[in-house]
Copies of this chain bind each other. A is one copy, B any other.
């Protein structure tokens, strides 16, 4: 009954940021806000580092939901940006699906706000069309734990792989030697304890040498 290990492949993956908008983020409560921002930007830095195709989409950004957060807009000025006129499931928007198809990738990393709607619906749609979906659980947020847990389970049962941004980082990188400096450069700013390790290590070595 063993299954093949479908492994993230930096040459076959694209990242979809769905509805990370200032208003919507403020209605979420399942993560500490500092931490959530740190994870979303961690995923974004990951996408940049591996040069993965990125697609941004928003829902009613000219209304109460608010604009896409600047951390994403600034990092991906040239990414396809689909401001959906009304479709709740981004996969119901033809432009969005076309943008996904245009990447030519089969593995989709999906994150968004709120988890049970903006992430779950396109995930279920993409799975039904044969994509491998990797839901980035900690770069997606919602109202409370019951909303998150039921959403993650629903996607998992449907075949999605649910993981965190750091798990995705490790699976894409595979070997530190591919670019040690570069990879460490995206971990430190998003994982404070790891930055502390580096500082302690550097100082200890400096002391030893002096």
Interface string of A146-168 (1 = CB under 8 A from B): 11001111101111011110110
Q: Which residues of B contact A196 (CB under 8 A)?
A: 22-23, 25-26, 66, 69
157-210 of chain A: CB within 8 A of chain B: 157-159, 161-164, 166-167, 170-171, 173-178, 180, 191-201, 203-209
Give Cα distance in the complex from A124 to B3, angstroms.
Answer: 9
Q: Does A127 interact with chain B (Cβ within 8 Å)?
A: yes
| Number of residues from A at the complex interface, CB < 8 A | 95
Interface residue SS majority, chain A: helix
Contact A64 B166, beta carbon cutoff 8 Å: no
**Complex: A69 Cα to B129 Cα, angstroms:** 43
Q: How far is the CB of A9 from chain B (nearest CB, A)?
A: 13
Which A6-55 residues sit within 8 Å CB-CB of chain B? 7, 22-23, 25-27, 29, 32-38
Which residue of chain B has the shortest Cβ distance to A204 in the bound complex? B204
User: When the two chains form the complex, which single residue of B26, B86, B167 contacts A150, counting CB atoms closer than 8 Å?
Assistant: B167
Instruction: Identify which of A1, A159, A171, A196 gathers the most chain B CB atoms within 10 Å of its CB.
Output: A196
A95: Cβ under 8 A from any B Cβ: no
